[in-house]
Structures are given as C-alpha cells and as structure tokens.
Amino acid sequence: MLEPGVLGVYRSFEVTEVFGFSKTVAPTNILTIIVAEDDEVGCDETSSYLTENLIKVSSLKGWSFGVKRYRKTVPGLLADLLSMQSEGRWKASGQSLAIGNLKGKPAELAPSDSMHKVVINNLLKNNFWNGSYFFEWADATKDHLAELFTHPRSIQELSAALSLVWPINLAKVSDRIGNILVQLPITAMVAEFRGSANREVMKVDLAWAQDIEARPLRLVLNRKYDNLETAYHSQIISSEPVVIPTTDGPGEYYGYIWDELNNVLMASTGAFSQVENIDLQIQLNEHNRRSYQYTVGADSFACDIPIVALHSSRVGKGVDPNDEWTSNRMYTEEIQRLKEQRRFLQYKPIPGREESERQKALEDIRWLINKHGQEAVWLWDPFLDMYDVFETLFYSKYSYADLRAISSAKEKPACACTPHVPDPFVEKQKKILASANCNNFGLKFEFRARVNSSGWKFHDRFLIFPRTGRGALAWSLGTSINSVGKQHHILQRVDDGQLIMDAFLELWASLDRAEQLICKI
C-alpha cells in the first residue's frame, strides 16, 4: 500500500503521540496516531510538544500527560514498527514509551462520514473524500492503563484538554486508548458520486492526482432497503465521468471504487441517498402572547410567553407506492425485535393482576442479567434493599461475576396505619442478609449505600452491564425494583451505556467509608 501511486504518494509520516506517567508508572503510550503524507520538507525527525506544560487531570492524582509531534521517513517508521514488535517498546521519537501487549490487526478502510457517522473518524486526520486505510496495533487487556478506566472522569477530562491542542475526541473512542494507528489517506484520486434531479441517473466523476497516471478501476454501486438489494451496478471506468441509469426506489446507496490490479479499495462513500422530498417549515410569530400569573406561598409569579405558529409543507413525494405499508411493517418488526431483546418493554398492570405483571417484570430483568452479565452486573436504585437484591442480582448464574449495588438508603413509604420503628438502614440490610442463610457460593458481591453527605442524591434507576464484549450496556428500569410490574413503567436500553457506567463508578468511588458498606462478599 505504500508503493507510490497505489493509494497516494507518501514521502513521510506525521506522528502524534499522547504519553502519560506517574510516580509509579513509567512513561506510557496513551495513544499514537501516525499519518502518511506527501510532504518531505522538514522531515528531520525532531520532536516538538503541542502543549506548553504537562496536562494534569484532577481525577487522576499524580498523573501527567503530554502530546508530542514529530516526522519520520517511510523507512524510519517501518523500522520503528518492527522494533516495537520485537522489543515491546515504542521508541520512534528516540524516547522509550511502555506499551501493552499490542497485536496487529488487518488493514481496514474508514469512509468519510455520510448518513452514518464513522466513529474512528474522531481520531483520523481530515478523513474526507475517498476515506483512509488504517492499520492498528491494539492492546486487548489495557492492564497497564487500568487506572484510567477505573476513574472514568479522567478520560473525559483528558479528552477535553487534548481537544484544545489536537482536534480529536478521545472520549468517544476510549476503546482505542493504549493503541497505535497508522493512517493511509487515499489521495491518488478523488471520486464524487452525484444523483440527478430526476433520480434517473447517478453520475460518478474521477480526478487523478497530478503526478499519478490514471489506470482502469471498477465502479460498484448498490442500493439496499428492507434487507433487499434494490439496485446494483458494476463496470470498469477510467477518469472520464460515468453516467449510470438508476431505477427509482427507496433505500440507501453505497458506492465503491475498486482497484483490481492492486487489490485495494480506492474509494468508499458510506451510505448516501438521493433526495425524494424536502420538508419546509415556516415559523410566524403570533401577535398575541400567552400570559398568566400564579402564587406559591407568599411569592407571586407573572409569565408572558411569545407564541409561534408553525406552517409545514412538503416538496416532492415518495417513489415507492408500497413504501408506507412497508415502513409500517418494518416498524412493527422492530418493536417485536426490541421486545425479544428486552430493549423496550412496557408494563401495564391490570387491577387484580399486579402480581403476575410483577413476576413478568422480574423475569425480564433476570433474563437480562443472565444474557449480558457473564462478567459483571451493577444495580443502581435509590430504594434498593437486600430483598430486591435477592430477587435480581442473586439470580445471576455466572460464578464470581462482579455484582455491585448502590442504594440511597431510602425506606419504602410506610403505611400510615403502621407505626414506623427506626432502624439504621445499613444494619437492617445486614440483618436481612444474615437471616437468609446464603452459602455465598459463586458470589462476588458488594452493596454500598449513601447514608451520609458523601456522594450526591440520585433518582434514576439503572441496570448496568459494564463488560459485555460490545462495550458497556445499560437499561433504565423506569421504577424501583420494589415496584417493577406493580405500576406502569418502561424498561428500556439507553443509548450510551458507557456514560451511565462512568456515572455509577464516580458515585461508587465516593461511597468508600465503612459506614456505607452493607456487605462485601
């Protein structure tokens, strides 16, 4: 791929590395991005720092971080990569950085962002037009960087500090921490895919770089909808513009330019579509305003709200006569799929049948625990007590899975007719656990409660799976465990389980006093 003219003409590499160290940790590679470029001016391999001072992160005491940039010749970088694989150190800048047990991955192509965002583009440099190949050496365990992951705020803080000197978003791709990436931007030629106004043809233009001789390439264009191949086209092209007749219909297009001589992709568009219709909205300010007054105790409030009239219209129309029916059927199938995966469930207890609905809700939670909790399950609920733990976490079938629970030490609302007998929450839960005569077989469980001013008050309820092989997953319970199924609520998977996990860990770390520990098995 480095052969001049295949993907581009690469004369040097720009290397940007983030390093970190502490009193107990030697200088370590946090992330290194290496970008192939056609510039050889100033390729003297001298280093410069992008920050005037080392970066400090408040949630990681004793750690310091820096960002270094330098250039390498093509032979020089290849030698550094070979040295890294044989010696287990990264020394391209002349100073040694510790690395994990890095393993090389096959080359992958990252298209530019289109209808769908490409996550790795948060790290790659200027990945526009055709996209970029990248090679990655990845650390599967990241054991030497465990402190970063046990203090999740540190990654957010480090990412924010790095973005001031280097336009990347480390927090969005925290799975790449500890890795080394080599990016090969495809610059030998540029391809542009354009649909016509009448949607009857697709135009593809190619332009080759000035110092690269044009060669035949294969164009592949396909369209997918409802798991069907609704259009497909393939032909050999040169640099002249190509006009492809396209059948009208719904779906997303994907375009590829393939080099059969060198067996490489020269362009990948990602998903894109032709315009079917445009929705227009006009907002007009009304002459009158909404006004009202209300009183709370001794305080009076007056409100005067401007009102907007919204007028909507649509230019164009759908092209598939069956589209509305197909969309409705696909929506119904999606709802059923979400139910089967317990990604969205609604509980509506009928009077007199609350108990059966509760058992159904508990069975769904247990199903999730045993589906995604092979390694760890964390439960976060302000009203959580040991009885709730018995009915949920203790149903985990996996030996020594990491089970954790946080409660706000709130008692269930007591019946007005029953006198409330004070009993310290933590001691009460210890008595409940002791009375259960549990043999603790296969249990790794810790339960903490917010019983003083540490941490903060919380209201939401979450079931969290921090280690699933697909990143962290989390479900919103919609109500406390003691009430699931008894009243209307929705159990649904949240979009970013990593953020929920980070918030849990932040609170967990603040509840580290002896009086906050209910049990640790």
pLDDT of residue 422: 46
pLDDT of residue 419: 47
Residue corresponding to tokens 């197909």:
326
CATH 3.30.870 fits 341-520, yes or no: yes
Q: Over range 92-115, report the average pLDDT.
A: 90
What's the whole-model pTM score? 0.64
Confidence band, pLDDT 50/70/90 cuts, at residue 496 = confident
Residues 6+ apart with CB under 8 A from 69: 14, 15, 16, 17, 47, 48, 49, 50
Instruction: Report how far residue 471's alpha carbon sits from residue 384's, in angstroms, rounded to the nearest whole number.
Output: 26
Angle of the 152-163 helix axis to the 497-510 helix axis, nearest 10: 120
pLDDT of residue 409: 83
Strands (E), 38-165: 48-49, 64-73, 89-90, 97-98, 102-110, 132-139
pLDDT of residue 41: 56
Q: Which residues of 71-94 are buried (b: 16+ CB within 10 A; e: fewer)?
A: bbebeebeebbeebeeeeebebbe
Share of the chain above pLDDT 70, in %: 87
CATH, range 189-272: 2.60.40.10
Containing 28, the helix (H) or strand (E) segment is strand 28-37
Q: Over range 26-41, report the average pLDDT.
A: 90
Least confident of 78-82, 345-349, 431-435: 345-349
447 token code pair: 């339960």
Q: Specify the 3-state DSSP secondary structure of 55.
A: strand
pLDDT of residue 113: 84
Containing 360, the helix (H) or strand (E) segment is helix 354-372
pLDDT of residue 32: 96
Least confident of 92-96, 288-292, 363-367, 495-499: 288-292
Q: In 3-state terms, the chain is what percent helix, strand and coil (to 5)?
A: 25, 35, 40
Per the prediction, the chain carries an average pLDDT of 83
Q: Which of 402, 351, 364 is nearest to 481 (CA)?
A: 364
Q: How many CB atoms lie within 10 A of CB 417?
A: 5
Instruction: Report how far residue 59's alpha carbon sits from residue 317's, in angstroms, rounded to the nearest whole number.
Output: 54
pLDDT at 37 over 90: yes
Residue corresponding to tokens 């990945």:
127
Share of the chain above pLDDT 90, in %: 27
Least confident of 12-26, 130-144, 168-182, 276-290: 276-290
Q: Contact, 21 vs 28, CB < 8 A?
A: yes
Taking the CA of residue 167 as centre, how many other CA atoms within 13 Å lie in the half-sphere pointing to its CB?
Answer: 5
Q: Over range 53-65, report the average pLDDT.
A: 87
Q: What is the 3-state secondary structure (H, E, C) of 99-133?
A: CCCEEEEEEEEECCCCCCCCHHHHCCCCCCCCCEE
Instruction: Report how far residue 279's alpha carbon sits from residue 260's, in angstroms, rounded to the nearest whole number.
Output: 42
Q: Specify the 3-state DSSP secondary structure of 295.
A: strand
pLDDT of residue 491: 87
* Complete DSSP assignment for 202-251: EEEEEEE-TTS----EEEEEEEEETTEEEEEEEEEE-SS-EEEE-----S
Q: Contact, 29 vs 91, CB < 8 A?
A: no
pLDDT at 372 over 90: no
Q: What angle do CA 72, 78, 84 make, to 5 degrees?
A: 100
Confidence band, pLDDT 50/70/90 cuts, at residue 356 = confident
Instruction: Report how far residue 10's alpha carbon sits from residue 14's, in angstroms, rounded to the nearest whole number.
Output: 11
- φ and ψ at residue 291, rounded to 5 degrees: -130, 145
Q: What pairs with residue 151 in β-bridges?
A: none
Q: How many CB atoms lie within 10 A of CB 43?
A: 18
pLDDT digits (tens, 9 = 90+) for 377-428: 999 999 999 888 888 888 888 888 899 999 988 765 555 454 444 458 888 8
pLDDT at 322 over 70: no
Dihedral angle sign, alpha carbons of residues 120, 126, 131, 134:
negative
Instruction: Report how far residue 385's alpha carbon sits from residue 300's, in angstroms, rounded to the nearest whole number.
Output: 42
400 sits in the region (left: phi over 0; alpha: psi -120 to 50; else beta) called left
Taking the CA of residue 119 as centre, how many other CA atoms within 13 Å lie in the half-sphere pointing to its CB?
Answer: 7
pLDDT of residue 331: 46
CA 343 from centre of chain = 17
Tell me which of 307 and 103 has the higher pLDDT.
103
pLDDT of residue 483: 86
Taking the CA of residue 355 as centre, how many other CA atoms within 13 Å lie in the half-sphere pointing to its CB?
Answer: 1
